[in-house]
Amino acid sequence: MRLRTLTLICAAALLLAATRLTPAASAPEPFYVHSGDTVVFYGDSITEQRLYTAFTELYIVTRYPGLNAKFVHSGWGGDRVTGGGGGPIDVRLERDVFAYKPTIMTIMLGMNDGKYADHTPADDDVFYSGYKHIVETVRQRLPGARITAIEPSPFDDVTRPFTLQPDGYNAVLVKYGDWIKHYAAESHIDVADLNTGVVAMLKKANAADPALAQKIIPDRIHPSPAGHLIMAEELLKAWHARPIVAAVTIDAAKGKIVRSDFAHITDFHASQPLVWTETDDALPLPFAPMLATDRDHTLALAIQSSDVTEALNQEPLVVTGLAPGRYKVTIDGETAGTWSAEELARGINLAVLDTPMARQAMEVRGLTSQHMDLHQIRWRTIQVPLQIFDSPYYYQALKSLDGLESEAVARQHAAAQPRPHVYQIVPAA
């Protein structure tokens, strides 16, 4: 019975997401990341998990495949605004930020600064002064860099009782987030709230399935991929991410293309079967392939309990003017699904389905992980622990790993380039 319930959650998440289609906003804000940017994600163990950062990178590489931005993941477990296991803060900044000459830097700290059950007001003063030191140091060394100050992700006080009385430990992090928001306004840096949206998702998930909701942030600190997906959503929304992958509307009765946003259509044949070749400007986030590997079903619950599909993953196909009946939509000869004429007229969201585009995006996800792993090995296995050896082999090893990572990034960008696909709509048998 439990397995059946969880399977239904997955199915419901896809079905619900497939029907949540909103039109593209007019005159949207330009996307925050520009071509040629280098983005450094800086933080503690939550950033070291390389999950919200990986989702963010995956979105950018697949949604803007011509952007050619670089990404460096510089999280170190246990870090506070004063530094930690990777060295004092000025050592961390010099080695793990400034060395890459970023044009964009995100800062997510606070979870460890509050000291959990031993929190005192004096800890707040240390956090505020330390955070200011980070920003001011970055400003001095990289005056042109854009800084996104991140309000810290939540301690899970939603699915379990408080451990810090009277308001719970997340209240400390919310207080830090409020301070960051005001400081960001005063110092003219950007800000992203990675707490409020995740808490809202946790509350909905907890109402739907309390036991499963606890697995979204299993130790109450470090989110599973499900929690990190919503964190990435909040960061990307702060960066004015485009919800639309591609949007196509076809009037079958009149035999014409009504809308083709971020999509290029050729070889359109209006007679039965309806056939066209489409090359989109982007790839969707691979929700369907990800859900297929979601063994504990937390990802499905998080998608179901949030607006991540509306915010990041809309690929609407609308077909009007079809005679009543049911129709099969195929892409490159593979069945994407079967819908009624009424459902197709309302629109289906291809981004949440198992399509060739989603599987291509899943390939990009694997290459994203590959380049992050290579950087992690270079940084944490060779560069930092072996820096005492002033050996030519040490520098050769670093250079070789840099070369391997560059090759992985080149493969990642090549894999993200959209490909043409042949669509067909035929009456279902």
Distance, CA of 165 to chain centre: 33
Domain boundaries, the chain: 31-238, 243-429
Distance, CA of 100 to chain centre: 22
Cβ-contact 381, 415 below 8 angstroms:
no
- Per-residue pLDDT at 48: 98
Query: What is the layout of strands, in order, in the sheet containing 38-43?
Result: 70-75, 38-43, 104-108, 146-151, 190-193
Kindly report, residue by residue over 107-151, the tens digit of the pLDDT.
999 999 999 988 899 999 999 999 999 999 999 999 999 999 999
- Per-residue pLDDT at 164: 86
- Per-residue pLDDT at 92: 98
Separation between Cα atoms, residue 207 and residue 107, nearest integer Å: 32
Provide the sign of the torsion angle of the four alpha carbons 126, 127, 131, 134, taken in this order.
Answer: positive
Question: Phi/psi of residue 80, each to 5°?
Answer: -125, -175
Q: Please determine, looking at this structure, whether the domain spanning 31-238 carries the CATH number 3.90.1300.10.
A: no
The CA radius of gyration of the chain, in Å to the nearest whole number, is 23
Which pairs with CB-CB distance under 8 Å and at least 24 residues apart come from 163-166? Answer: 163/116, 163/117, 163/220, 164/116, 164/117, 164/119
pLDDT < 70: residue spans in the chain? 1-27
Helices (H) and strands (E) in the chain, counts: 15, 16
Separation between Cα atoms, residue 112 and residue 257, nearest integer Å: 54
- Per-residue pLDDT at 26: 52
- Per-residue pLDDT at 323: 95
